[in-house]
């Protein structure tokens, strides 16, 4: 125990001497947690709309006004022909073209039906799908308003209407920040813990102090513990700062018990730092360690369920995601912060992460080659 305490004293002195590490630990997560949720917005707005109105009637003008007043569309062009409107699509100045045919109002009143033509620029698939869906909903709502205006009271029997009232649980206002911020915080904790520990042993190799440590009677597990514990403490500090920023900036307060979160984070940091130490034992330079960690971090982030649901991935991707520790942390963060889940609900995730921690740290201890 005394040996570990001396190693911890040495590690903390090295950390606090390096001002860049302190900036990475304290400043970088705060700035990213403030900026990234504001940019990572699932809503699609300011969709550029080109309109081709062959009718020029009061109904067509009402429809255009209703679309532009929705807040999702911005009128980019009012063309005379569809060919002119397509030029705006080709030059990337328009995303959607709405063509209103000649006799739109007259046919709608007389024959109770009419067709509109919508062309969507599908280069950006997400924007195209959502833009087309928004436009379709607005047109359907406008159609319902017109039908109600044309119905003469007492002439026909009223149509029975089923009214649906929905209630959103766990995120009643459907605020995407409440969904994104816990996931982004999980990514930041992973990056800080994984990157710093992956550079730890390698830095000793580069500056030559590893040779002095190798000739001492320090055991391998003492050395790994001395490298692991300081960054485990700092990882918890980063997580605490992230929770404070989430509360102060976005008003996010965990519905569940914060103790459940800290218990899971304590085990999770052991797992991700064990992985960083394992990478560090394989590398000879900090550049090698950074490139390897960058590769794995990209996989962890993109296949962790932050931006796309794991359930919608193909079978092979879901199999890979099962070995992704970040996916378990993101899931637990959202369960506890938004849903208020307790230990019983997160116990399967905790067991898997504990398994990762044991395997990765044991592997790092065995792989660290100490010469005497």
Class of the CATH domain delimited by 47-150: alpha beta
* E strand or H helix that includes residue 162: none
Report which of 60, 42, 62, 44 is spatially closest to residue 52, judged by C-alpha positions: 60
User: Would you say 153 and 227 are in contact if contact means Cβ atoms under 8 Å apart?
Assistant: no
Which residues are registered as beta bridge partners of 117?
99
CB 140 within 8 A of CB 114: no
pLDDT for residue 372: 42
285 contact partners, CB below 8 Å, separation of at least 6: 202, 205, 206
The lowest-confidence range among 66-70, 140-144, 146-150, 324-328 is: 146-150
- Rg of the chain in Å (alpha carbons): 29
| CB 309, CB 183: distance < 8 Å | no
β-bridge mates for residue 78, sequence order: 51
Quote the pLDDT of residue 370.
Answer: 57
Kindly give the interhelix angle for 286-302 and 325-334, rounded to the nearest 10 degrees: 50
Residue 354 scores a pLDDT above 90: yes
* Structure token pair of residue 10: 């040495």
Burial class of residue 32 (count of CB atoms within 10 Å of its CB; 0-12, 13-18, 19+): middle
**What is the model's pLDDT at position 152?**
52
Average pLDDT over residues 294-302: 92
pLDDT at residue 221 above 70? yes
Is the pLDDT assigned to residue 111 strictly greater than 80?
Answer: no
Task: Tell whether the model's pLDDT for residue 135 goes beyond 60.
Answer: yes
Residue 115 pLDDT exceeds 70:
yes
> Which pLDDT band holds residue 146 (cuts at 50, 70, 90)?
confident
Model confidence, pTM: 0.79
CB 263 within 8 A of CB 183: no
More confident residue, 155 or 311: 311
> Each residue of 300-311: pLDDT tens digit?
998 998 888 898
Whole-angstrom Cα distance, residue 93 to residue 85?
Answer: 10
Please state the domain extents for the chain.
7-40+171-367, 47-150
**150 pLDDT band (50/70/90 cuts)?**
low
Strand pairing report for 117-120 and 96-100: antiparallel
Mean pLDDT calculated for residue range 263-277? 94
Decide if 247 contacts 330 (C-beta within 8 A): no
Q: For 3-55, write each residue's pLDDT tens digit.
A: 778 778 877 887 777 777 777 777 888 888 988 888 776 677 788 899 999 99
Task: Quote the pLDDT of residue 351.
Answer: 96
At residue 164, the pLDDT reads 67
Share of the chain above pLDDT 70, in %: 92
Number of neighbours of residue 134 by Cβ within 10 angstroms: 19
Q: CA 360, CA 271: separation in Å to the nearest integer?
A: 7
Q: What is the pLDDT of residue 151?
A: 58
Average pLDDT of the chain is 85
* Region 128-156 average pLDDT: 75
């Amino acid at each position: 125990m005394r040996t570990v305490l001396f190693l911890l004293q040495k590690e903390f002195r090295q950390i606090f001497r390096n001002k860049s590490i302190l900036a990475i630990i304290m400043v970088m997560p705060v700035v990213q947690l403030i900026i990234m949720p504001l940019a990572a917005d699932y809503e699609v707005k300011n969709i550029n709309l080109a309109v081709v109105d062959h009718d020029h009637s009061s109904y067509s003008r009402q429809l255009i006004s209703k679309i532009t007043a929705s807040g999702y569309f911005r009128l980019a062009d009012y063309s005379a022909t569809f060919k002119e409107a397509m030029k705006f699509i080709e030059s990337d100045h328009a995303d959607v073209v709405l063509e209103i045919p000649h006799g739109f109002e007259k046919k709608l009143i007389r024959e109770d039906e009419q067709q509109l033509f919508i062309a969507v620029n599908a280069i950006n698939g997400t924007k195209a799908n959502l833009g087309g869906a928004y436009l379709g909903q607005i047109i359907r709502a406008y159609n319902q308003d017109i039908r109600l205006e044309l119905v003469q009271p007492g002439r026909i029997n009223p149509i029975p209407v089923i009214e649906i009232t929905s209630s959103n649980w766990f995120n009643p206002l459907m605020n995407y920040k409440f969904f994104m911020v816990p996931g982004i915080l999980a990514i930041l904790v992973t990056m800080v813990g994984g990157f710093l520990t992956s550079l730890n042993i390698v830095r000793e190799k580069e500056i030559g102090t590893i040779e002095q440590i190798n000739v001492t009677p320090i055991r391998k597990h003492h050395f790994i513990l001395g490298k692991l514990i300081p960054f485990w403490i700092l990882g918890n500090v980063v997580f605490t700062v992230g929770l404070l920023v989430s509360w102060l900036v976005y008003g996010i307060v965990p519905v569940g018990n914060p103790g459940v979160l800290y218990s899971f984070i304590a085990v999770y940091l052991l797992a991700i730092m064990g992985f960083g130490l394992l990478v560090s034992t394989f590398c000879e330079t900090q550049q090698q360690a950074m490139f390897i960690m960058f590769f794995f971090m990209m996989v962890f982030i993109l296949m962790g369920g932050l931006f796309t649901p794991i359930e919608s991935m193909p079978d092979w991707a879901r199999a890979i995601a099962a070995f992704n520790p970040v996916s378990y942390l993101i899931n637990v963060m959202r369960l506890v912060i938004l849903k208020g889940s307790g230990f019983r609900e997160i116990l399967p995730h905790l067991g898997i992460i504990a398994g990762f921690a044991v395997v990765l740290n044991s592997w790092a201890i065995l792989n660290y080659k100490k010469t005497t």
